């Protein structure tokens, strides 16, 4: 396998930050073995599709891209094609019925097996599928090479995986499995290691981080991380409103390293829709939570996920959703049309009875409203000074650098390579639709 180990890999990543981190771990592990990355699909010896199936669209994208790789395989029969992530978990062997050119199908708990499977396929030329769930998820403990990341001063850290909430529309519990928590000592050790290598910001990841319990609670974990020297910023995603405890709200009061931002998906503003979604909170209690967080941390910013067109969503239900948006005034809102996910409770029990036209129209109106709010929020920041952690050279202007405020707003300002990784006070001079422009204060 020696010569082969000098091969080139191309990883396509779809979906959430969890998948981004999994891709970085695969990339890291294969680099250690001698593989090098390539941008050119045609040059690759191994192509990995790290897939997402949370919504119908993401699923279709993965399947159609997989179909497109068939011609690469016919041109280069020694090419190894692997499918990982949620579609691999959901479909397993069925993928190969439609896509016989796929060599490796690797489920969400089996990521650590990738190098072995590549070796098997290479030596024996037969396809491999591993999609079993396990009690522990070994890949959560893989520490990726931070040097391969495009944000060297920010590390993403798995603290848990999977979900036991079973929101009626959601496929995640079926493709990521039950909630598995990583031991807090391992989390703190990994963060200590990153800090000693110059990482300043940690981003804790899990499908529902506030229900974390890996030996201590989530607020306990945040307090532990706060004590690690060198770490200056702590972020986390994603959170379920029903699990935002008083202990977590207190963290926003007490821990100055905890960034002034929370992603808090609300999905709908209608109590009847929320009930049918199995979300365990109401319009009123969600707004109460927002108020609590605001009084604990007055400069906190909010982002969220929402969907339109859930079964039986009436005009009034939809207006209740818009009311939440108008009241909270999120900085960023990820909005989707409901799509049926096979295997979920909603797919089995409810009719997808809001027409496609109505879903499109509701989404369009909602997005127009949010666009205005995002811009107004940005405008309100003009003249104020924010601490910005510089991430890199701006993609659109090589004379500028870009970074993020504690509130997670993107800021561009004049600067060079030498500023990367520094936290600087920046005065905002201009509001753009999705970013801010500033100058050193």
The site for ligand SF4 (CB under 6 A) is made up of: 163, 165-167, 170, 172-173, 207-208, 240
Q: What is the DSSP letter of 183?
A: P
Q: Which residue is nearest to ligand 5AD (CB)?
A: 305
Q: Which is nearer to ligand 5AD, 34 or 342 (CB)?
A: 342
CB of 161 to ligand SF4, least distance (A): 10
Q: Which is nearer to ligand 5AD, 169 or 236 (CB)?
A: 169
Q: Which of residues 146-205 bind ligand 5AD (CB under 6 A)?
A: 169-170
Q: Tell whether residue 339 is a contact of ligand 5AD (CB under 6 A).
A: yes
Could you tell me which of 241, 434, 270 has the C-alpha nearest to residue 338?
Answer: 270
Choices 115-123, 192-200, 290-298, 333-341; region in contact with ligand 5AD by CB under 6 A: 333-341
- Tell me how far apart the alpha carbons of residues 205 and 401 are, in angstroms, rounded to a whole number: 26
Q: Tell whether residue 85 is a contact of ligand 5AD (CB under 6 A).
A: no
CB of 333 to ligand 5AD, least distance (A): 10
Q: Which of residues 246-305 bind ligand 5AD (CB under 6 A)?
A: 265, 267, 305
Could you tell me which of 122, 132, 160 has the C-alpha nearest to residue 30?
Answer: 122
Which phi and psi (to 5°) does residue 283 adopt? -50, -50
CB of 278 to ligand 5AD, least distance (A): 12
Q: Which is nearer to ligand 5AD, 345 or 373 (CB)?
A: 345
- Tell me how far apart the alpha carbons of residues 190 and 363 are, in angstroms, rounded to a whole number: 41
Q: What is the DSSP letter of 50?
A: E
Instruction: Report the residue from 14, 212, 338, 386 that binds ligand 5AD according to the rule CB under 6 A.
Output: 338
Contacted entry of ligand SF4, ligand 5AD, none for residue 165, CB cut-off 5 to 8 Å set by kind: ligand SF4
Binding mask 41-60 for ligand 5AD (x = CB under 6 A): -------------xx-----
Q: Which is nearer to ligand SF4, 34 or 343 (CB)?
A: 343
Contacted entry of ligand SF4, ligand 5AD, none for residue 163, CB cut-off 5 to 8 Å set by kind: ligand SF4
- Tell me how far apart the alpha carbons of residues 140 and 179 are, in angstroms, rounded to a whole number: 13
CB of 51 to ligand 5AD, least distance (A): 14
Contacted entry of ligand SF4, ligand 5AD, none for residue 297, CB cut-off 5 to 8 Å set by kind: none
Assign 3-state DSSP to the chain and report helix, strand, coil percentages, each to 5: 40, 25, 35
Helix (H) or strand (E) holding 389: strand 385-393
Read off the tokens for 352.
């997808």
Q: Which is nearer to ligand SF4, 166 or 334 (CB)?
A: 166
CB neighbours of 157 closer than 8 A, spacing ≥ 6?
187, 190, 191, 194, 202, 203, 204, 205
Q: Which is nearer to ligand SF4, 163 or 401 (CB)?
A: 163
Instruction: Report the residue from 73, 194, 341, 359 that binds ligand 5AD according to the rule CB under 6 A.
Output: 341
* Cβ-based burial of 42 (10 A; exposed 0-12, middle 13-18, buried ≥19): exposed
Helix (H) or strand (E) holding 287: helix 283-296
Choices 78-86, 126-134, 332-340, 420-428; region in contact with ligand 5AD by CB under 6 A: 332-340
CB of 173 to ligand SF4, least distance (A): 5
Binding mask 2-41 for ligand 5AD (x = CB under 6 A): ----------------------------------------
DSSP notation for 108-168? TT-GGGHHHHHHHHHHH---EEE----SS-GGGG----GGGSS-TTEEEEE-EE--S---T
Q: Which is nearer to ligand SF4, 339 or 378 (CB)?
A: 339
Contacted entry of ligand SF4, ligand 5AD, none for residue 271, CB cut-off 5 to 8 Å set by kind: none
Q: Please count the residues of the chain.
A: 441
**Distances in Å between the alpha carbon of 158 and those of 233, 258, 398?**
16, 17, 33
DSSP reduced 3-state for 431: strand
Angle at alpha carbon of residue 336, lines to 290 and 202, rounded to 5°: 55
Q: Which is nearer to ligand SF4, 133 or 375 (CB)?
A: 133
CB of 68 to ligand 5AD, least distance (A): 25
CB neighbours of 84 closer than 8 A, spacing ≥ 6?
22, 26, 48, 49, 50, 51, 104, 106, 107, 108, 111, 114
Binding site for ligand 5AD (CB under 6 A): 54-55, 169-170, 265, 267, 305, 307, 336, 338-339, 341
């Amino acid at each position: 396998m020696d010569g082969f180990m000098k091969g080139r890999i191309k990883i396509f990543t779809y979906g959430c930050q969890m998948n981004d981190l999994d891709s970085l771990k695969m990339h890291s592990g294969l680099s250690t073995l001698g593989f090098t990355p390539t941008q050119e699909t045609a040059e690759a010896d191994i192509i990995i599709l790290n897939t997402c199936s949370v919504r119908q669209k993401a699923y279709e994208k993965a399947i159609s891209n997989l179909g497109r790789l068939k011609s690469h395989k016919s041109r280069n029969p020694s090419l190894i094609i692997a499918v990982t992530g949620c579609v691999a978990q959901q479909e397993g062997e069925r993928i190969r019925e439609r896509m016989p050119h796929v060599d490796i199908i690797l489920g969400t708990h089996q990521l650590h097996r990738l190098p072995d499977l590549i070796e098997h396929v290479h030596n024996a030329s037969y396809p491999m599928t591993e999609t079993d769930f396990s009690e522990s998820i070994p890949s959560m403990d893989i520490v990726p090479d931070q040097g391969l990341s495009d944000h060297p001063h920010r590390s993403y850290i798995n603290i848990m995986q999977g979900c036991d909430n079973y929101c009626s529309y959601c496929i995640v519990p079926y493709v990521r499995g039950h909630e598995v928590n990583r031991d807090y000592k391992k989390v703190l050790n990994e963060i200590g290691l990153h800090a000693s290598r110059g990482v300043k910001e940690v981003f804790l990841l899990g499908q529902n981080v506030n229900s974390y319990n890996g030996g201590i609670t989530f607020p306990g974990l945040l307090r532990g991380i706060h004590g690690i020297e060198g770490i200056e910023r702590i972020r986390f995603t994603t959170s379920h409103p029903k699990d935002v405890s008083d202990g977590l709200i207190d963290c926003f009061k007490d821990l100055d390293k905890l960034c002034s931002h929370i992603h808090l998906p609300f999905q709908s503003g209608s109590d009847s829709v929320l009930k049918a979604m199995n979300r365990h909170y109401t319009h009123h209690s969600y707004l109460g939570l927002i108020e609590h967080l605001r009084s604990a941390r007055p400069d906190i910013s909010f982002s969220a996920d929402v969907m339109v067109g859930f079964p039986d969503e009436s005009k009034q239900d939809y207006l209740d959703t818009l009311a939440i948006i108008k009241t909270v005034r999120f900085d960023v809102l990820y909005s989707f049309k409901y799509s049926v996910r096979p295997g979920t409770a909603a797919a089995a029990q409810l009719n997808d009875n809001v027409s496609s036209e109505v879903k499109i129209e509701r989404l369009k109106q909602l997005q127009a409203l949010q666009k205005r709010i995002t811009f107004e929020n940005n405008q309100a920041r003009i003249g104020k000074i924010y601490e910005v952690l510089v991430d890199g050279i701006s993609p659109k202007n090589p004379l500028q650098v870009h970074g993020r405020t504690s509130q997670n707003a993107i800021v561009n300002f004049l600067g060079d390579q030498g500023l990367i990784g520094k936290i600087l006070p920046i005065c905002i001079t201009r509001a753009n639709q999705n970013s801010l422009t500033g100058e050193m204060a």
